[in-house]
């Protein structure tokens, strides 16, 4: 079986979707808690962030790293308690 397409482009598209999911997941889990987070919330948030960072860590694709950086900046702006 042959796959037609640029591997890096496909990877970037998948990672963009994953990072969008991360933002949406944070909103679902934490948006309505009015910044009153307990230890479980902090642990869960850190696990989600760590998972995304570990997924990208072996990549040398600057575009993916930039998307991750922008995603984390967005989350840090909305949920500074987790950073």
> pLDDT tens digits for 40-80?
999 999 999 998 888 887 777 888 889 999 999 999 999 99
**Range(s) of the domain holding residue 52:** 38-83
Q: 64 lies in a domain?
A: yes
CA dist 62 to 19, 32, 42, 45, 79, Å?
15, 34, 29, 25, 25
Q: 79 lies in a domain?
A: yes
Q: 47 lies in a domain?
A: yes
Q: 52 lies in a domain?
A: yes
CA distance 63 to 13: 10
Confidence tier at 4 by pLDDT (50, 70, 90)? low
**Residue 63 burial by CB count (10 A; 0-12/13-18/19+): exposed, middle or buried?**
middle
Structure tokens at 66: 């930039």
Residues in the chain: 83
Top pLDDT among 58 and 83 is at 83
Q: 68 lies in a domain?
A: yes
pLDDT higher than 70, residue 11 = yes
The number of domains in the chain is: 1
Q: 12 lies in a domain?
A: no
For the entire predicted model, the pTM comes to 0.81
């Amino acid at each position: 079986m042959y796959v037609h397409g640029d591997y890096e482009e496909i990877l970037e598209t998948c990672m963009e979707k994953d990072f969008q999911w991360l933002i949406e997941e944070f909103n679902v889990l934490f948006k309505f808690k009015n910044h009153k987070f307990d230890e479980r919330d902090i642990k869960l948030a850190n696990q989600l962030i760590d998972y995304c960072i570990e997924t990208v860590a072996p990549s040398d694709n600057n575009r993916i790293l930039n998307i991750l950086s922008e995603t984390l900046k967005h989350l840090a702006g909305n949920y500074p308690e987790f950073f």
